[in-house]
Amino acid sequence: MNKKGYNQTANEQAFGANGFNEITSAGASVAIEADDRFVILIASEDAVFNFSNEVDKGVKTATNFSLADGRSLYGYFKNIVVTSGKLLVYYAS
């Protein structure tokens, strides 16, 4: 039986140890590299954005995805483009 338990990498990601960035329709507060991945997206105001999600199941790409202020998404995101609003994004590594 495989039990999921303590995982240092997952805990570091969940608590933001790898850092965060803010993305708006004007761009990111710190430049995002092509190989950057994000594990948590939080709308700091109502946001509409596009993304790719490197996961086995569920939504893999979305266009004009809406996320209400204060709501979060978890995954392995890349290619995030905000068309309106603001996102706080937490780096995977």
Q: Is residue 84 part of a domain?
A: yes
Which tokens sit at 61? 């790409």
- The pLDDT, as a whole number, for residue 5 is 55
**Nearest residue to 75 (alpha-carbon basis) of 87, 85, 86, 89:** 89
Distances (CA, A) of 48 to 39, 40, 51: 18, 16, 10
Q: Is residue 48 part of a domain?
A: yes
- The pLDDT, as a whole number, for residue 2 is 44
The tally of domains found in the chain comes to 1
Q: Is residue 3 part of a domain?
A: no
3-state SS record for 31-43: CCCCCCCEEEEEE
CB of 85 closer than 8 Å to CB of 48: yes
The range of the structural domain enclosing residue 36 comes to 9-91
| Predicted confidence pLDDT, tens digits, the chain (93 residues) | 344 555 677 767 766 678 999 999 999 989 999 999 999 999 999 999 999 999 999 999 999 999 999 999 999 999 999 999 999 999 998
Q: Is residue 77 part of a domain?
A: yes
Q: Is residue 4 part of a domain?
A: no
Q: Is residue 2 part of a domain?
A: no
- The pLDDT, as a whole number, for residue 9 is 75
Which tokens sit at 28? 């990111």
